Structure formats: structure tokens, C-alpha cells
A and B are shown apart, each in its own frame.
Chain A
Amino acid sequence: MSDLDDELMQRCQQGDTEAFDLIVRRNRAPLVNFIGRFLGDQNSAEDLAQETFIRMFKAANRYRTGAAKFSTWMYHIAANLCKNELRNRGRRGNFFIDNVSVEEHLGKDNSVGEDLIATAPAHASLQPENQLVQKERQQAVQNAISKLPERYRLPLILRDLQDRCYEEISKILNLPLGTTKSRINRARLMLRDKLKDFVEEPWTA
């Protein structure tokens, strides 16, 4: 995501539909990954990613080059959709939200994020038992992410899975820079406590 996206948005504003197709091709993977890691559900992730692109397309004429980075704008829309989706799930009562534990959910079927792990390409050099261990570890990480409260989950994913800088994350989430940094540190600490059993001890690494 770079100045090319800005240029493509300018072309899109002039009615070039191919420019928007290129924007989609360039950004669909990170967007699906961001939403998928947040929701722990690939189908909903694709649905919301498509909704994000539709909103971007509709608001293309209001996009001002230079006012904010393209990626900031895109993640801001996606983050708002994610928050709404989480609230709707909470209202429907069919999913967890914030501090509500997923233990009840996992008690029946310990499969949160399982489909996401299944989509991960396995490294060819890995032995089957190592693949299994790695898959379990990735599933544990996804479960731990899904258990984090929304206000910690979003900045953590943006920082550690989407590789966004602190300044951009603070703009995406409309938070002061210091708050963003402290939330990410807090989220990592919470994640550490949840992943104690899966983190390799330093002497075994």
C-alpha cells in the first residue's frame, strides 16, 4: 500500500473502473487477513472485506489524496465494520464479545479459527508431527486473539499481523499515540498470559 493506491483512487474518481479493480487486487489479501484474524471466521471476513470495498467505491469521490494514507482510510472503514459486526453478534448472542469468555463456546467445539488454520499453507520441509504442533499453536494463538477485548484486539492485529506503524494505528482507531502504544503493550501482555503453555521455553528453543 503506497502512493500507487492514491494514484489509483484518483483514476477511480475520474471514472476508471479498472483502477478500482487493481485497488481490490492489491488490498484484498491484507484486508481479509485483518478482518479474519479479528473475527476468527473466514466467511464473515470475506463478507466484511467486500463490504469495505463497496463502501470505499461509494465514497471514492470524497477521498482526498494527501489528507490521509490510503491504507489508513481502508483500515478505518474495516475496523468500524468489525466493531459493528462484533456488537451485532453480541446482540444476537451467538458469539463472544470483549471480556466474555469463549470457554462455553469452545467447550462444545474447540474450533474457533480452525478453518483459518486449515487455510494456512504448510511448509514443505515440516514433518507431519511438527505440522500438527504448529497447527495447534496457531489455533491457540487465534483463540487467544479472539478472547482479547475489542479495544486491545484491533491495535494488536494492526501492529503484529498487519505490520502498521503506531502513528497509523492511532489514526485508524482515532486514539492518541500514547494510548495506542499502551494498548498494544497491554494486549501483548494479555496474549502472553494466555499463551504460556504454547510458548517454547528459552532453554528448549
Chain B
Amino acid sequence: MDCVSVEEQFSAYLEDELDYQTTKVFESHLANCGSCQNGFTLFRESVNLLHQMPSIEPSPNFDSDLQSRLANAQMDSIPWWRRTLAAIRSKSVWAFSGVALGIGVCAIAGIYLYQNAYVGNETISVASTEDTPNVRRYDVLPPPRIRVDDSWISRTSPLVPDLERQRLVEFPAFEGPVFPKTVQPQRVERNYILQTVTYTDTPTRGGW
């Protein structure tokens, strides 16, 4: 047995795992080889040092940290659809949804009432056909108008965009295509001008 082979048997010899014959050969080599003897002594002492190492103790908050991490891990392991079902089943979600729905209905109703609220001694009447612009047969009906304190205002909803209607306005016969700048005709048919009229919302008390 050479020095390399002896070194390979250090652990086995230290832990008494060599058979009788090998142990004899090993010990015989050590007795005659100062280098291996010294090497084995250092080997045994360093293993002893390892065995003397103190244990590392867990910190006091180890258990509490682990508990919270385990709780999170349990939540993560539940499929999303099960978590959703569990949330739907819980009473608090239903209560929250009911409250949210109530608030939403109240808000919509409030906005509606606010927009239709008129106060004071305003006289409200529906426009008569005589008061509408001078329109002819190709017209589309203009938006309904109401009279408030002797002035006509549109009553379309503020949420509806401006309405564009076309109408034919009677125009007296004239010589040459001369028109006021403000009323540029799009098409002239005999004595009629096709105009595009935009009906916009007039602000109400609500300030829209």
C-alpha cells in the first residue's frame, strides 16, 4: 500500500470500516511513514474540529415568518376560479356590491333630476309650428324647443352631440349668385337654398 492509497483510506480507518487485513497493512504503513503519520494526525484533528462546531440555532421569529409564508403559499396554490367562487359566496362581497349598486342608481337619478330641474317663475310652453323656422318639405324636424322666460332654448340632452339637420329655406328670386357671407348655400333649387343647420344645446340651469 503506497502513500496515496493510504490517504484514500483515512476516513475508512478513522471510522473503523476497514477489514482486519487492510487495517494491519494500513497501520504498518503509518508506522513506517512519518509523512502519512503526520498527515493522518492532522486529518483526525481537523475532523474533530468539524465535530466541535456549534449548531446554528433558528432565530425566534423563524416560526412566525414560516407561518405567514405558508399561508401565502396555500393561497397561491388555490386556482383562481376557486378563489373567485369563494369570494362570490362570501356575504361581504354581496353587501359591497349592493351598496355600490345603490350608489350608482342614486348618482344616475341625481344627474337626471338635476338636468331637468327648473326653478322660479319660468313659463314653459311647447313651441308652436308657427315659431319654427321657415322650413319646407325636405326638412327633418328640428329638436324640440321650449320657451323659458320669453326666449327659446333647445331641450336636447347635453349628452347628445350637436344635431345636424338639412332644410330648404325659401329665398326670394334674385339676379346672380350673390348671397350673404354668413349663409353660403350648398345647393340652389329654384328659389330654395339647402342649408345645413346645426342645433346645439343651450345651457340650462344645470350649467351644461
Contact = CB atoms under 8 A, between A and B. Distances in A.
A175 B208 CA distance: 81
Given A119-B56, A182-B8, A196-B42, A24 B66 contact: yes
A45 B62 CA distance: 11
A156 B46 CA distance: 12
A53 B10 contact: no
Contacts of A116: 56
Contact of A184 (B7, B11, B53): B11
Contact of B62 (A28, A142, A161, A189): A28
Interface stretch (B69-77, B130-138, B182-190): B69-77
B12 interface: yes
Contact of A160 (B10, B42, B47, B77): B47
B168 to A, nearest CB: 79
Interface in B177-208: none
Nearest to A203: B41
B54 A32 contact: no
Contacts of A36: 56
Interface in B92-115: none
A189 B10 contact: yes
Chain A binding surface, main DSSP class: helix
Contacts of A205: 45
A175 to B, nearest CB: 15
Bin chain B's interface residue count: 20 to 34
A45 B42 CA distance: 30
Among the interface residues B8, B55, B69, which one has the most CB atoms of the partner chain A within 10 A? B55
Contact of B11 (A24, A50, A185, A195): A185
A120 B53 CA distance: 9
A160 B51 CA distance: 6
B173 interface: no
Given A182-B8, A188-B46, A189-B43, A121 B69 contact: no
Nearest to A30: B55
Interface in B15-68: 39, 41-43, 45-47, 49-59, 62-63, 65-66
B76 to A, nearest CB: 9
A194 to B, nearest CB: 8
Interface in B121-147: none
A160 B50 contact: yes
Shortest Cβ-Cβ A-B pairs, 8 listed: A120-B54, A36-B56, A185-B11, A199-B45, A160-B50, A192-B46, A32-B58, A33-B56
Given A156-B50, A160-B50, A192-B46, 12 more contacts: A46-B62, A49-B62, A50-B66, A116-B56, A119-B54, A161-B53, A181-B12, A185-B11, A189-B7, A189-B10, A196-B42, A199-B46
